[in-house]
Structures are given as structure tokens and as C-alpha cells.
Structure 1
Amino acid sequence: MTVNDDSFTNWKNREEIAESMIPLIGKLHRERDVTVLLHSRSLVNKSVVSILKTHRFARQIAGEELSVTETLPFLQALTALDLGPSQIDIGMLAATYKSDDRGLSVEAFTAEAVAGATGANKIEGGEGRDVVLYGFGRIGRLVARLLIEKSGSGNGLRLRAMVVRGGGDQDIVKRASLLRRDSIHGQFQGTITVDEANSTIIANGNEIKVIYANDPSEVDYTAYGIKNAILIDNTGKWRDREGLSTHLRPGIDKVVLTAPGKGDVPNIVHGVNHDTLKPDEQILSCASCTTNAIVPPLKAMEDKYGVLRGHVETVHSFTNDQNLLDNYHKSERRGRSAPLNMVITETGAASAVAKALPDLKARITGSSIRVPVPDVSIAILNLQLARETSREEVLDYLRDVSLTSPLRRQIDFITAPDAVSSDFIGSRHASIIDAGALKVEGDNAILYLWYDNEFGYSCQVIRVVQHVSGVEYPTFPAPAV
């Protein structure tokens, strides 16, 4: 047998093992509301090839691929446990098991590592929490996809309705089509049908009522059986407490804005300051995509090295608030053709840092350039640190942060020397550190941070909504503090 034959046989064997993992992952998700992760990457509803590719990510940790033969025993051990709703990282289980010298069996080690999700410690699934989308644009549709994907056993978040302005004949059909197909993010994973008579879109069994209104005051949510709901405003029309409070009607308990909030509206970056929210807070903002991209790595650098001052330059994809061709716009430069020009514009991300990181004393400035790509941006974060360091030390530190710290869902890390913006479409992290581009000289560090300003940001929005709804399930093994 040739070497090539050996490689092919090995691949087929791993395919077979990955196939056997899919029903186990699916059953845990549907019946127990358990999301199986591999180094913070969900394996729910993933294909065989996707599962195998996710295992290759472990090269970031030990320099070698993590095999499905190593993780399958931990997955099998999980199925034998009486688990409650949780997120369980079998990659971290395998990694920590290797370093454990007590001689425990896989079954005993797994039971100990996830003890907080079993027996008297486990969270009991509730009835779920209603969610309403106000607006159905780029972020609204991606948030809808994520809510549908995460419906799981039905005990978590439930997308009940979307509120939009009427758009004429076949409006609901056209909106369903926009949910079904996306030029950037591809096809919806599942089935979508339309019940025009009842003004309902049915996506993977989730019935979503389409409510037509021009103003929050026109909607009676209780008429649709909606109660205690979290409303996600993705229109950006209202950004202060007074305006957003108009959403607080019978049936609506909290309002989450997908744009930077003004005045005393809390700007929340999940992973950084979400735990500062007061339980009775009804109005909050998820800040901007750029704020979510820069604040987690900025916090990581502040925690390790101290930051004296910094500047962020964002090279941002164009958005729908720009013109396709030159035309009138209230902003001087944004009226110029978005797909034909680089456009200097303002960004509020630097000033928003103070709301998310109030203890950071460093002055952070910022500016932005819109460029002719439809999605994925890069933030160049130039920092003066409180002490000198080396490129190797910063790389090792940020790699570890992305893998084992409480920020591992926000920060990703890539070493590929040929990576370009389109490679990060669909990334679920708020920020991806480009290791090859990192610059360090003495007390100066320049970080290059990729981010999917649509999908990665939408994932952060969902995390905030899960947190305020009480369905943000614990992760095991617990990340290092």
C-alpha cells in the first residue's frame, strides 16, 4: 500500500467517526439543550467535513491536529450523563484530560469536569423567552437566522415576530426570500415557507408573525400572544432612552439596540462588561460592530501590559447607508459611490470604548475608511503599552487568550499567511487577531483585527440577548480566569 493509500484510508476512517458524532451532537442539542463545542466552535448542525475541519483548528494549541478518535470518547461519555442546558467543549475536555495525571477514565473525568451541569446543579429548562425583531435589514435577518438556529429544544429564545413597514404586494414573500438567500452569507440552513393569509413566515418549524406598523405605538403585542419579550431594534432610528422607551408596551419587557446607544443607555460588549448590567435595566445597546471588535483585545492588552494611549483605524466594508452611485446624502462623503471609492468617514467606536471599559484611563482616538467590499472589515489598533515586551510574548499571550480565557468566544486567532478579508465571512467571533501582521517594538504594539461586521456582530447581539433573558447557559470546562 502506498503512502497516498494510507492517507486516504485514514481520511475515510475519520469521516466514518465524524458521521457517528452527528446524531449524538444532535440528540444532546434537541433533547437536553446542550451545545457541543470544539474550542469555542459549535458542532451543532455541522457536516462531516466541517467537523473534521474544526478539529484541525487544534493545531493552534499544540501544533498538531486534534483527531476525532480523541474527542469521540468524551462525546459518548456526555450522552450517558443526566445533563442540563449547557455548552460543553469536547476539545477542551480532551486537552485537559491529556494534562491530568490522576489516571481517571474518560467517563470519570468527563463526569467531574461537567458536574456543574448534572444532578442538583443542572439548570432546568424553562418555557423560553419571546423575542421580537423591530426591523428586518442586514442585522435583523442574520439575528433571525441565529435565533432559529439556536431554538434547540424550544426552551431558549423564541423568535415570535418581526415588525416592519408595509412594502406593497407580496411583501411577506419578498422578506422570506431575503431570509432564504443572502449574497454574502449564502443559503438559509433549513426550510422556509410562507403563510400569506396569516402573515406568517415558518422557518424550520418556527412560526414568525410579520406585523406591519410605522411606529411602535401602533403595535399591540399581546394580541399575538407575545409576553415578557425582548425586542431587538435593528433600525437605529431611536438611540436614546426616550426614543427606545416607546417600545416598552404590554408584551415587551426589554429593548436591545443594535447600534451605539446615546446618553445614559448602557453600551454592552459581551465578554467584557455584560455582567455589569442591572437585572432591572430595560434599555440597552450592543454598541457597534467596530466597538465589539476592538474592546475585547484592548481589554486583554490592558490586563496584561497596561495601555497608556491608542489609536484605531478601521478599514470598513461599505454599508446600506451609503449610495450605490453618487447621489445626495446628509453626510459629505457618504453620498459618493460606495463600490467605486474609498471614503473617509467618522467612527464612534473609539469614544464608545469608555462606556464598555470605564476603568481604562488611556485616551483612544479613532477614524475610519469605507472601502469597496460588501462585508468583513479590519481594525488596526496602535497601542502604547505601560511596559516593553516582544512580538513573541504578545503572540503567545493572545493565542492563549483566544483559546482558554473568558474572552475566547470574542477573540479568535489566525496564523495563515495568505488570509484575506473574504476568509472571515461567517466568523462568529467579534475579532480575529492576524498573527502574521502583528507589530511589536518596545512598548508599542500594533494589532490587526479582522471582523465580520455583519455576522460576527450579530453573534455578539445574540449573546447579550441570551444573557439578559436568563438563557445564557454555562460553559464546561470553565475557561481560565
Structure 2
Amino acid sequence: MTVKDDSFTNWKNREEIAESMIPMIGKLHRERDVTVLVHSRSLVNKSVVSILKTHRFARQIAGEELSVTETLPFLQALTTLDLGPSQIDIGMLAATYKADTRGLSVEEFTAEAVAGATGENKIERREPRDVVLYGFGRIGRLVARLLIEKTGSGNGLRLRAIVVRRGGDQDIVKRASLLRRDSIHGQFQGTITVDEAKSTIVANGNEIKVIYANDPSEVDYTAYGINDAILIDNTGKWRDRAGLSHHLRPGIAKVVLTAPGKGDVPNIVHGVNHDTIKPDDQVISCASCTTNAIVPPLKAMADEYGVLRGHVETVHSFTNDQNLLDNYHKADRRGRSAPLNMVITETGAASAVAKALPELKAPITGSSIRVPVPDVSIAILSLRLGRETTREEVLDYLRNVSLTSPLKRQIDFITAPDAVSSDFIGSRHASIVDAGATKVDGDNAILYLWYDNEFGYSCQVIRVVQHVSGVEYPTYPAPAV
């Protein structure tokens, strides 16, 4: 048999194993609210090839490829346990098992590693928490996709309604079509139907009421059977507590803003300061996409090396706030054609660092350039560190942070020498460290951080909503602190 045949046979064998994993992953998710991960990447509702690619990607992080033959025994062991709602990383189980020297079987090791999610320790499954989207633009539709994807067994979060201004004839049909098809993020994974008479969109069995209103004061959500809901404001029209509090209508318990909050509104970056949210906080902000991209790696660097000062330059994709062609705009440069120009503009991300990371006393400055791409941005973070180091040390540290730390859902790591912006469309991380572009000279470090400013940010929003709703399930094995 030739080498080519050997490679093909190996591929077919791995395909067969991945195929056998799909029903186990699906059953754990539907029946027990267990999300199976490989190095922080969900395997729920993934195809055979996607499962294999996710395993192969581990080489970018851990330095060697992870095989489905290694993770299958841990998945099989999980199906025999009395599991409660949780997230379980079979990639990390396989890695930590290799390093364990006690001679335990896979079944014994797995049971021990996930003990906090089994038997008397497991979390009880909760009733679904209602969620309302106020606004249905770029972020609103991506958040909707994520909420529908995460419905799982029907527990957790449940998208109940969308509030928009009526746009004209066939408004609901056009909005459903925008949810179904996206020029950047592709087709919706599932089925969507519209009931115009009931003003309802049904997406993968989720009935979503479309409520037409020009102002928050016009809506009584209890009239639609919505109670104790979390409302996600995607419009950015209101940024301060007084404005956002108008959403606290009958049926709404909390308001989450998908833009930087002003005044005393807490700016939350999940993974960094989400544990500062108080149970009685009714209005919070998820800050900006750029703040979410820079704060986790900034915290990681400050924790290990100390940061004396820094500057962030964001090269940002254009947004709906800019004009397609030159026209009047209240801002100085955003009126110039977005697809034809690089546009210097301001960013509030640097000043927002103080809100999300108050313990960092170092001054951080920032500026931004909008460029003619529709999605994915890069933040260039230049830091003066508290001690000298080397490029190799920084890269090893950040690789480990992305793999095993509490920030592993926020920080990703890539070593591909030919990576470009479009490679990161659909990334679920807040930012991705580009190892090849990283520069270190003594106590100066420059990090290049890619981020999907639409989808990655939307994932961060969902994590915050899961946290405040009480359905952010623990991850096993527990990340290293």
C-alpha cells in the first residue's frame, strides 16, 4: 500500500470515529445541557469535517495535532455519567490525562475531573430565561443566531421577541430574510418560516414575536407572555442609565447594552470583570468590540509582566455608521466613502480600559483607522512592560493563556504565517494573538490582535447574558488560575 493510500485510509477511519461522536454530543446537549468542547471550541451541531478540523486546530495551540482517537474514549466515558448542565472540554481531558501519572483508567480519570458536574454536585436544570432583542441590525441578528443555536434542550436562554420600528410593507419577511442570509457570515444553520398574521418568525422551532414600536415606553412585554426577561439593546441610541432605564418596562428585569456605556453604567468584558456584576444590577454595558479585544490580553500581560503604559491602534473594518459614498456626516471624516478610503477616526476603547480593568493604573492611549473591509479588525497593542522579557517567553505564555487559563474563551492564538483578516470571520474569541507578528524587545512588546468585531463580540455579549441570567455553566476540567 502506498503512503497516499495510508493517508486516505487514516482519514476515512477518523471520519468514521467523528461520525460516531455526533449522536453522543447531540444527546448530551439536548438531554443534559452539556456542551462538549475541544480547546474551548464547541462540537455541538458540527459536521464530521468540522469535528476533525477542530481537533486538527489544536496543533496551533498545543503544538501537536489532537486525534479523535484520543478524545473518543473520554466522550464515551461522559455518556455513562450522571451529568448536569456544564461545558466539558474533551481536548483538555485528553491532555491532562496524558500528564497524569497515577495509572487511572480513562473512565476513572474522567469521573474525577468532572465530579463537580455529577451526582449531588450537579447544577439543577433551570427554566428558560426570556430574552428580548431591541434592534435587529448587524449585532442584533448575530446575537439572535447565537441564542437560537444555544437553545439546546429548551433550558437556558430563550429568544422571545424582537422590537423594531416598522420599515414598510413586508417588513417581517425582509427581516427574516436578513436573518436567513448574511453576506459575511453565510446562511443561517437551520430553517426559518414567517407567520405574517401573527407577526412571528419561527427559527429552528423557536417562536419569536416581532413587536413594532417607536419607543420603549410603547411596549408592555407581559402582554406577550414575556416575564423577568433580559433585554439586549442593539441600537446604541441610549448609552446612560437614565436612557437605558426606559427599557425597564413590565416584563423586563435587566437591560444589556451592546455598546460602551456612559456615566455610571458598568462596562463589562466577559472573562475579565463579569464577576463584578451585582445581582441587583439592572443596567449594564458590554463595552465595545475593540475594548473586548484588547482588555483580556492586556490583563494577561499585566498579570505576568506588569504594564507601565500602552497605546492601541485599531485597524477597523467599516461599519453602518459610515457612508457608502461621500455625503454629509456629523463626524469629520466618516462622511467620506467607506469602501474607497482609509478613514482616521476616534476610538473610546483606550479610555474604556479603566472601567473594565480599574486595577491597571498604566495610561493607555488609542486611535483608530477604518479600512475598506466589511468585517474583522486588528488591534496593535504596544506596551511598556514592568520587566524585560523575550519574544519566545511572551509567545509561550500567551499560548498557555489561550489553552488553559480562565481567559481561554476570550484569547485565541494562531501561528499560521499566512493568516489574513478573512481567516477570522466567525471566530468566537474576543481576540486572536498573531504569533508571527508579535514583537518583543526588552521591556517593549507589540501584540497584533485579530478580532471578528461582529461575531466575536456577539459571543462576548451572549456570555455576559448567560452570566447575569444564571445559566453560565461551569467548565471542566477547571481552567488553571
Partner of 2:12: 12
* Match status 1:324 vs 2:324: yes
Cα RMSD (Å): 0.5
Displacement of 1:131 in angstroms is 0.1
Displacement of 1:57 in angstroms is 1.8
Superimposed CA distance per residue, residues 286-312 of structure 1 (whole angstroms, 9 cap, x where no aligned partner): 000000000000000000000000000
Displacement of 1:261 in angstroms is 0.1
Displacement of 1:62 in angstroms is 4.3
Deviates more, 1:54-63 or 1:306-315: 54-63
Distance, in Å, in 1 between the alignment partners of 2:470 and 2:303 is 28
Displacement of 1:145 in angstroms is 0.1
Superimposed CA distance per residue, residues 240-275 of structure 1 (whole angstroms, 9 cap, x where no aligned partner): 000000000110000000000000000000000000
Q: Secondary structure at the match of 2:392?
A: helix
Preserved CA contact (<8 Å) 2:61 2:414: no
Distance, in Å, in 1 between the alignment partners of 2:58 and 2:144 is 30
Distance, in Å, in 1 between the alignment partners of 2:420 and 2:382 is 20
Distance, in Å, in 1 between the alignment partners of 2:270 and 2:89 is 19
Distance, in Å, in 2 between the alignment partners of 1:303 and 1:102 is 32
Superimposed CA distance per residue, residues 48-72 of structure 1 (whole angstroms, 9 cap, x where no aligned partner): 0110011112213543211101100
Superimposed CA distance per residue, residues 78-117 of structure 1 (whole angstroms, 9 cap, x where no aligned partner): 0111100000000000000001111111111101100000
Distance, in Å, in 2 between the alignment partners of 1:272 and 1:115 is 26
Distance, in Å, in 2 between the alignment partners of 1:440 and 1:193 is 53
Superimposed CA distance per residue, residues 381-420 of structure 1 (whole angstroms, 9 cap, x where no aligned partner): 0000011000000000000000000000000000000000
Superimposed CA distance per residue, residues 334-378 of structure 1 (whole angstroms, 9 cap, x where no aligned partner): 000000000000000000000000000100000000000000000
Distance, in Å, in 2 between the alignment partners of 1:20 and 1:347 is 48
User: Sequence identity, in percent?
Assistant: 91
Q: Secondary structure at the match of 2:389?
A: coil
Distance, in Å, in 1 between the alignment partners of 2:270 and 2:220 is 31
Q: Secondary structure at the match of 2:197?
A: helix
Q: Secondary structure at the match of 1:442?
A: strand
Distance, in Å, in 2 between the alignment partners of 1:477 and 1:335 is 50
Q: Secondary structure at the match of 2:281?
A: coil
Distance, in Å, in 2 between the alignment partners of 1:61 and 1:309 is 28
Is there any run of 5+ residues in structure 1 with no aligned partner, and where?
Answer: none
Deviates more, 1:64-73 or 1:375-384: 64-73
Partner of 1:231: 231
* Match status 1:470 vs 2:451: no
Q: Secondary structure at the match of 1:161?
A: strand
Is there any run of 5+ residues in structure 2 with no aligned partner, and where?
Answer: none
Displacement of 1:167 in angstroms is 1.0
Distance, in Å, in 1 between the alignment partners of 2:281 and 2:292 is 21
Instruction: Within 5 Å, give how 1:62-461 maps onto structure 2.
Output: 62-461=62-461
Deviates more, 1:232-241 or 1:50-59: 50-59
Distance, in Å, in 1 between the alignment partners of 2:317 and 2:127 is 39
Preserved CA contact (<8 Å) 2:61 2:413: no
Deviates more, 1:276-285 or 1:52-61: 52-61
Residues paired across the two proteins, number: 481
Q: Secondary structure at the match of 1:57?
A: helix
Superimposed CA distance per residue, residues 276-330 of structure 1 (whole angstroms, 9 cap, x where no aligned partner): 1111000000000000000000000000000000000000000000000001100
Q: Secondary structure at the match of 1:350?
A: helix
Displacement of 1:217 in angstroms is 0.3
Preserved CA contact (<8 Å) 2:14 2:68: yes
Displacement of 1:134 in angstroms is 0.1
Preserved CA contact (<8 Å) 2:143 2:462: yes
Deviates more, 1:98-107 or 1:407-416: 98-107
Displacement of 1:126 in angstroms is 1.3
**Any runs of at least 4 consecutive aligned residues in structure 1 with deviations exceeding 6 A, and if so which?**
none
Q: Secondary structure at the match of 2:388?
A: coil
Distance, in Å, in 1 between the alignment partners of 2:152 and 2:62 is 33
Distance, in Å, in 2 between the alignment partners of 1:41 and 1:458 is 16
Distance, in Å, in 1 between the alignment partners of 2:117 and 2:282 is 29
Displacement of 1:168 in angstroms is 1.2
Superimposed CA distance per residue, residues 106-151 of structure 1 (whole angstroms, 9 cap, x where no aligned partner): 1111011000000111011111100000000000000000000000
Preserved CA contact (<8 Å) 2:258 2:285: yes
Distance, in Å, in 2 between the alignment partners of 1:228 and 1:220 is 12
Distance, in Å, in 2 between the alignment partners of 1:393 and 1:5 is 41
Preserved CA contact (<8 Å) 2:62 2:403: no
Displacement of 1:77 in angstroms is 0.5
Distance, in Å, in 1 between the alignment partners of 2:439 and 2:121 is 45
Q: TM-score, normalised by structure 1?
A: 1.00
Distance, in Å, in 1 between the alignment partners of 2:63 and 2:4 is 23
Superimposed CA distance per residue, residues 426-458 of structure 1 (whole angstroms, 9 cap, x where no aligned partner): 000000000000000010000000000000000
Distance, in Å, in 2 between the alignment partners of 1:167 and 1:398 is 47
Superimposed CA distance per residue, residues 156-193 of structure 1 (whole angstroms, 9 cap, x where no aligned partner): 00000000000111000000000000000000000000
Distance, in Å, in 1 between the alignment partners of 2:289 and 2:223 is 34
Q: Secondary structure at the match of 1:84?
A: coil
Q: Secondary structure at the match of 2:354?
A: helix
Preserved CA contact (<8 Å) 2:61 2:402: no
Distance, in Å, in 1 between the alignment partners of 2:339 and 2:136 is 23
